[in-house]
Amino acid sequence: MIKNIIAVMSGKGGVGKSFVSSLLAVNLRREGKKVGIMDADITGPSIPKIFGLDNERATVIDGKIQPVETKTGIKVMSLNLLLEEKNKPVIWRGPLISNAVSQFYNDTEWGELDYLVIDLPPGTADVTLTVMQSIPLNSMIIVTSPQDLVNLIVEKSIHMGKKMNISILGMVENMSYTVCPDCGKKIFLYGKSKAERISRELNIKLLSQLPINSEFTSLCDTGCIEDFSPEFKEFGDLGKKVLENIKESE
């Protein structure tokens, strides 16, 4: 039984959607929740690497796919956990990809979960539509970054969610700024954030503004995202904010 399903979406690639999905799963697990993460980005699966599961393989028992567990007990399902050669491209047409995503949800032995986080592919095409129509989502989180072009495309994702009657918990702005290691001043590499204005205009909450942090990037690159220190407060507060907003919406 899965109590809550949260989809993480962005209209554009490269904004850190898989990172936010993984971070949310880790945050929820640290709050004592039973958590799973489903990598619905079939042609660009990155969740196994972020969790250090590159060399793991999912098995099938009695027709059910057994998800791979991370060292803290997060259940993970991704196409890369089924492929013999993880570096080979997946050259599939839309319907086949959509069927694979449906199978990941229906044919995986998720067991008892408080939260299943679904990492959607970029855009508003087949897979995203399949998830919204065939999986009982409780809510959705939108990921953006400060660039004007990204914000324009992300607005399309927000409108899609509303049109499909999916509750939007809020927005996370990734790569919002970086902090000078010498003076501690915030530096806005991609220009001043427009997240607060967009959240007001579209009537959604701004959950978090995550900075660029090379140490945290290294943790993801080495598959050690679960090891991040509490000193990374901006990253560690995401789960609490999501849980607070879920309670408010109930």
The predicted model gives 135-146 an average pLDDT of: 91
| Least confident window among 39-53, 77-91, 181-195 | 77-91
- Summarize pLDDT for 185-214 with one digit per residue, the tens: 888 888 788 788 888 888 889 999 999 888
Identify the CATH number of the domain in which residue 94 sits: 3.40.50.300
| Least confident window among 9-13, 92-96, 138-142 | 92-96
What total of structural domains would you count in the chain?
Answer: 1
Say how many Å lie between the first and final Cα of the chain, rounded. 19
| Least confident window among 83-92, 113-122, 134-143, 190-199 | 83-92
pTM higher than 0.95: no
The predicted model gives 154-165 an average pLDDT of: 84
Q: How far apart are CA 171 and CA 208, in angstroms?
A: 7
- CB-based contact 113:3 (threshold 8 Å): yes
pLDDT band for position 91 (cuts 50, 70, 90): low
- CB-based contact 35:29 (threshold 8 Å): yes
Range of the domain at 86: 2-249
What's the confidence (pLDDT) of residue 121?
87
What's the confidence (pLDDT) of residue 158?
83
What's the confidence (pLDDT) of residue 189?
84
Q: How far apart are CA 80 and CA 55, in angstroms?
A: 9
Q: How many CB atoms lie within 10 A of CB 96?
A: 12
Per-residue pLDDT for 130 more than 60? yes
Amino acid, res. 209: Q
